[in-house]
Amino acid sequence: MFYRACADRIKDLCQQFPQGITDQVIQNDMPHLEPKQRAMAINKLLSLGLLDLLRNSSGLLYRLKDSQSASKMKGSDNQEKLVYQIIEDAANKGIWSRDIRFKSNLPLTEINKILKNLESKKLIKAVKSVAASKKKVYMLYNVQPDRSVTGGAWYSDQDFESEFVEVLNQQCFKFLQTKAEAARDGKQSPMMQRNASFATSHEVWKYICELGISKVDLSMEDMETILNTLVYDGKVEVSVMAAKEGTLGSVDGHIKLYRSVHAIVPPTGLVKTPCGLCPVFDDCHPGGEISPWNCVYLDEWLDF
């Protein structure tokens, strides 16, 4: 009964501190408990699979085991459970095998063996990170990787989709140009024309979604990234104004508005040709697989 009461108290402490407790926390809460008695109570909880044993910079850490994690790791040894817990803590950003080694203090050969075993059970998965193409991060099998790992909508299999970004760039600018032209054609005062030429990022996002040119779901953040490139290019200006609560596209009571502007320096003639925007310009030469003689874009531009 005594050890059961001690174990229950340790469980209560773990519930109060979901991130885990150290041995010092248990000592402070139960100063009358001898080290041997404390160890027996902790070992009882570990043997029942109710606690996770972790390691941090200050030493051992005890944390209440999640019921789902416990069922998944049934039959696994303590080392495998430790590695699984470390990967679970990394959430959707994943963790390098080097960092797993640092946190677990296990040999690299043992870690590689455990990782392969967990992958074969479909408990974890390895994901390539755009931050380092030759390295992989590990995360739980059913976790959706963070955009900092995958690169978001602009990457496919770690390759930057420059053509896709360029198409979005052009279409967003075209939408803002059309809105500005419609505002100028209206019989309004100059100030009203200027105000009417602005569009919110939500309006631009809706237009792009309706075009159906993207195979991936674009977020408002993705759309503002594209609009910002137009701002940096001097093609678009952005204005921030207060917005009512619940306004689409507003953040912290403010909303961003975008409008096309005339470039300070007009583009050169070369930029206006397909060659000036061609992503494979450096590979194009007479007699090659990519050549001016078989360029469909150049033919369409000349016919136009």
Please determine, for residue 208, whether its predicted confidence score (pLDDT) is greater than 70: yes
Q: Is 181 exposed, middle or buried (0-12, 13-18, 19+ CB in 10 A)?
A: exposed
Across 71-89, average pLDDT? 77
Q: How far is CA 245 from CA 85, 241, 249, in A?
A: 41, 13, 10
Task: Delimit the domains of the chain by residue range.
Answer: 1-65, 80-150, 156-266, 268-304
User: Which of the following CATH numbers is that of domain 1-65: 1.10.540.10, 3.40.50.1000, 1.10.10.10, 2.60.40.10?
Assistant: 1.10.10.10
Question: At 193, is the secondary structure helix, strand, or coil?
Answer: helix
Nearest-angstrom CA–CA distance, 4 and 6:
5
pLDDT at 150: 67
pLDDT at 304: 44
Calculate what percentage of the chain has a pLDDT beyond 70: 77
pLDDT at 180: 86
pLDDT band at 298 (very low <50, low <70, confident <90, very high): confident
- How open is the CA angle 146-149-155, to the nearest 5 degrees? 105
pLDDT band at 73 (very low <50, low <70, confident <90, very high): low
The CATH number of the domain covering residues in 80-150: 1.10.10.10
pLDDT at 181: 85
Please determine, for residue 72, whether its predicted confidence score (pLDDT) is greater than 80: no
Encode pLDDT of 123-163 as tens digits: 888 888 766 666 788 888 877 777 767 666 666 665 667 78
Q: How far is CA 63 from the centre of its chain?
A: 27
Encode pLDDT of 242-284 as tens digits: 766 655 555 666 788 888 887 656 656 555 567 766 767 777 8
Please determine, for residue 302, whether its predicted confidence score (pLDDT) is greater than 80: no
pLDDT at 3: 63
Average model confidence (pLDDT) across the chain: 78
Across 117-122, average pLDDT? 87
Please determine, for residue 185, whether its predicted confidence score (pLDDT) is greater than 70: yes
pLDDT at 148: 67
pLDDT band at 58 (very low <50, low <70, confident <90, very high): low
What class has domain 156-266? mainly alpha
Across 112-127, average pLDDT? 88
Do 80-150 and 156-266 come out as alike in CATH topology?
yes
Across 46-68, average pLDDT? 70
Nearest to 245 by CA among 236, 254, 237: 254
Residue predicted with more confidence, 3 or 171: 171
pLDDT at 71: 58
Nearest-angstrom CA–CA distance, 200 and 255:
7
pLDDT at 24: 83
Partners of 241 in beta bridges: 255
Long-range CB contacts for residues 270-273, cutoff 8 Å, separation at least 24: 273/298, 273/301
Query: Do 256 and 249 meet the contact criterion of CB atoms below 8 Å apart?
Result: yes
The H-assigned helical ranges of the chain are: 2-16, 23-29, 35-47, 67-72, 78-89, 97-104, 108-120, 147-150, 162-185, 190-196, 201-211, 220-232, 269-272, 274-277, 296-303
